[in-house]
Every structure is written in C-alpha cells, then in structure tokens.
C-alpha cells in the first residue's frame, strides 16, 4: 500500500522564491502527496491544532519543506511545532500518534554547499543546523530521514531548478512507494521525554 505523504510548506515570501515554487510544483504532481501551505492556511498564525493533528494521523511521512532562515525555519513552522506536537499526542508516555511515521526535511539554502562545513562561511553542516528537527523526530518516535537540500538557490538557472525539482519528485515518489520498514532511516525511535 502506498505511503501517504504530508508536505508542510513554510515560506512567508513564497511568491519570490523560485526554488520553493519549483519544489512545490514537483510535490503537487506526486499522487499521494498532500501539500499544506502553512502561511496560506494560517496568515494570522492561529493554527487549528485539531486539524493539524488529524492531518498528521492520516499520513505516514511528514515533510518539512522550507528555506533555511537564520539557520532554522520560518517562524510559522516553529509555532506549528510548539502547538501541534503536544505532550500526550506526539510525545510522552501516551503520546504515540506519530510513532513509526517518517520525517523528512526538504530545505532550500541561499548558501553554496561549500559554505556549510567546518571551513565554510557558516562553520557547520546543514545536518548540524537540522539537529533540533532530528531531535524532534526522535522524541516523537519518528524515523528521521536523510534531508533533501537545495544549495545556492540564488545562483540556480532554470535548468538547474528543474533538475532539483525532478530529484525532489523522485524522492517523494520513492518514499510513497516504499514499505514503511524500508524507508532509509538515519535514526531509531526514541523513548525519551521533555
């Protein structure tokens, strides 16, 4: 049975983002993907927690698609995490609603790949900047997947954007078509709490 994928798109200026527009279009073209634009759904930041939790329960893979803003995510995604991933739902002794599901970060970054590393401008890798998301996945007993990253977005021409969009589409299709136990996980479920 195909896996159901929820793509949570968080980009406050998405009309100006060629990279996220290309990734969005690619995701929308994949059967079995629900694309949920958080800024479009909640321009006032008044997140409907029940609706969001129901969406999470209905899907097998959760994709956090956003630009890397100040080494993290845009504000609405943090607000979403703070409100939706409640104790007793997402974590804690009785919080098993997300256990066994997979989480993927799909990131766009203005900096080039060489800018992210010990010798680069940012001194850390993208994986290091995504540690809080990985820890969130572990706390929620989810499988953390290898992130999908598009570097140097300001430098990409149309053909390069198209190649990245095609790679994203292929990644989502592979996740959709893989049995849950065959997702390429890079973390095992955690059993801790806050």
- Over residues 137-185, the pLDDT tens digits come to 999 999 999 999 999 888 888 999 999 999 999 999 999 999 866 444 4
- What's the chain's average pLDDT? 89
In a domain, 58, yes or no: yes
Q: Are 18 and 156 in contact (CB under 8 A)?
A: yes
In a domain, 188, yes or no: no
Structural domains in the chain (count): 1
In a domain, 141, yes or no: yes
- Give the residue-averaged pLDDT of 30-36: 97
* Percent of the chain at pLDDT exceeding 70: 92
pLDDT computed for residue 181 by the predictor: 60
Residue with more model confidence, 1 or 61 = 61
Q: How confident is the model at residue 116 (pLDDT cuts 50, 70, 90)?
A: confident
- Could you tell me the CATH number of the domain that includes residue 76? 3.40.50.360
The structure's pTM equals 0.89
In a domain, 187, yes or no: no
- Give the residue-averaged pLDDT of 54-74: 94
Domain extent at residue 135: 5-182
How many angstroms separate the first and last alpha carbons of the chain?
34
Cα separation, 193 vs 38, whole angstroms: 27
In a domain, 68, yes or no: yes
Q: Are 7 and 103 in contact (CB under 8 A)?
A: no
What is the SS3 assignment for 93? coil
Cα separation, 164 vs 178, whole angstroms: 21
Q: Pick the range with the lowest mean pLDDT from 97-101, 146-150, 185-189.
A: 185-189
Residue with more model confidence, 135 or 126 = 135
In a domain, 191, yes or no: no
In a domain, 189, yes or no: no
């Amino acid at each position: 049975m195909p896996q159901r994928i929820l793509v949570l798109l968080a980009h406050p200026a998405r009309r100006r983002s060629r990279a996220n527009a290309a990734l969005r279009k690619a995701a929308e073209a994949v059967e079995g993907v629900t694309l949920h634009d958080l800024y479009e759904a909640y321009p006032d930041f008044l997140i409907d927690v029940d609706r969001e939790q129901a969406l999470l329960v209905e899907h097998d893979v959760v994709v956090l698609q956003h630009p890397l803003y100040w080494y993290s995510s845009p504000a609405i995604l943090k607000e979403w995490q703070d409100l939706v991933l409640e104790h007793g739902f997402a974590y804690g002794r009785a919080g098993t609603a997300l256990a066994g599901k997979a989480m993927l970060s799909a990131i766009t970054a203005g900096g080039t790949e060489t800018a992210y590393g010990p010798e680069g401008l940012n001194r850390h890798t993208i994986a290091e900047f995504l540690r809080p998301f990985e820890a969130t996945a572990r706390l929620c007993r989810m499988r953390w997947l290898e992130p999908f990253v598009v570097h140097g977005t300001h430098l990409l021409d149309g053909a390069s954007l198209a190649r990245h969009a095609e790679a994203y589409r292929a990644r989502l299709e592979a996740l959709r078509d893989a049995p849950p136990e065959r997702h390429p996980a890079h973390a095992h479920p955690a059993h801790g709490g806050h």
